[in-house]
Amino acid sequence: MPNTKIAGIGFYVPEQVVTNHDLMRHMDTTDEWIQERSGIVERRYAKRHEETTSTIGAKAARIAIERAGISEEDVDFIIFATLSPDYFFPGCGVLLQRELGITKTEIGALDIRNQCSGFVYGLSVADQFVRSGMYKNVLLVGAEIHSMGLDYSTRGRNVTVLFGDGAGAVVLQPTDEPGKGVLTSKLHSDGSYAEQLAFINPGCHSGYHARKMEQDIDFGYDEDAEFGGLFLSKKMFDDGMIFPNMDGQLVFKTAVTKFPEVIMEVLEDQGLQTSDIDLLVPHQANLRISQFVQRRLKLSDDQVWNNIQRYGNTTAATIPIALCEAWEAGKVKDGDLICLAAFGSGFTWGASLIRW
């Protein structure tokens, strides 16, 4: 049975740079406050009415496809990871297929909704397809446009200052080289705190989860209304319920526990140690989280790649963007052991080991 290698990789970030000072014009914050809590200096925002999650995903995909030495028509399956799809439905997978001009081949397209862990989850799924021989050229894309759905008032600053737009993509192919390619992946989830990092409204829940939970969460639905479902109410707008919400302390506390655990899990699965890692590419959620994990695992600065300072958190796109940047910078070389790890909404988390 063959292993799965990354045959081509690419990324795209929009041209518009938005600095912390730019955000200061819209909310009560400072550059020092943002950098101290997240490490972020700037992020990219897509062009309104010109760029969407699927179109920037296509730009990254074309680079990955070219570097893999294949054409768009050679792609035989698409996996698209995002939390910011163009539409509620259909998913971005089919829109990417159309954008790439490969609808005639009628290949399958799968959408992954695991937010920050989406790329790692997608890599694990693609790995199984390639190993089994079902597909030979799987296109995996992680792309996000957060800028269209954030709260740019002081009320929303804790979330808004963290996120940016961008896309990354890889082409996955079989390899018979011994010990090369994806070595292992481990995936986990715990839905106990699902609403603590979530985009709840609008949704089709009609307040169901609020009645189920011990804590009092108001989802903005009128209990006495005859009909309930997917709609926008005045209360949702007034209370800022149409924007993402996050319990930052809980997310940080959980992330710095689960990140090292799952990294050690994939290493132990292969009989390896942290000293064997040539490069850790963590999900770029917060520079403080990455630094905490680095210290916990006793990794050197040369063993960890961070770029959140320049792009912010692009959720499902952070790992492929960072991995591609590291590769372009010569930090990823033939034979290197690469560890990818992510934690995010759900909560979901996972890690993969790749021998380049």
Annotated catalytic residues are 116, 283, 313
Question: E-strand spans in the chain?
Answer: 3-12, 16-19, 42-45, 77-81, 108-112, 138-144, 166-175, 181-189, 197-198, 245-246, 279-282, 337-344, 348-355
Report cis status (omega within 30 of 0) of the bond before 343: no
- Contacts of residues 154-157 at CB distance under 8 Å and 24 or more positions apart, as own/partner, are 154/27, 154/28, 154/29, 155/240, 156/27, 156/240, 156/243, 157/23, 157/27, 157/28, 157/29
Residue 351 three-state SS: strand
Strand order from edge to edge, sheet including 108-112: 3-12, 166-175, 138-144, 77-81, 108-112
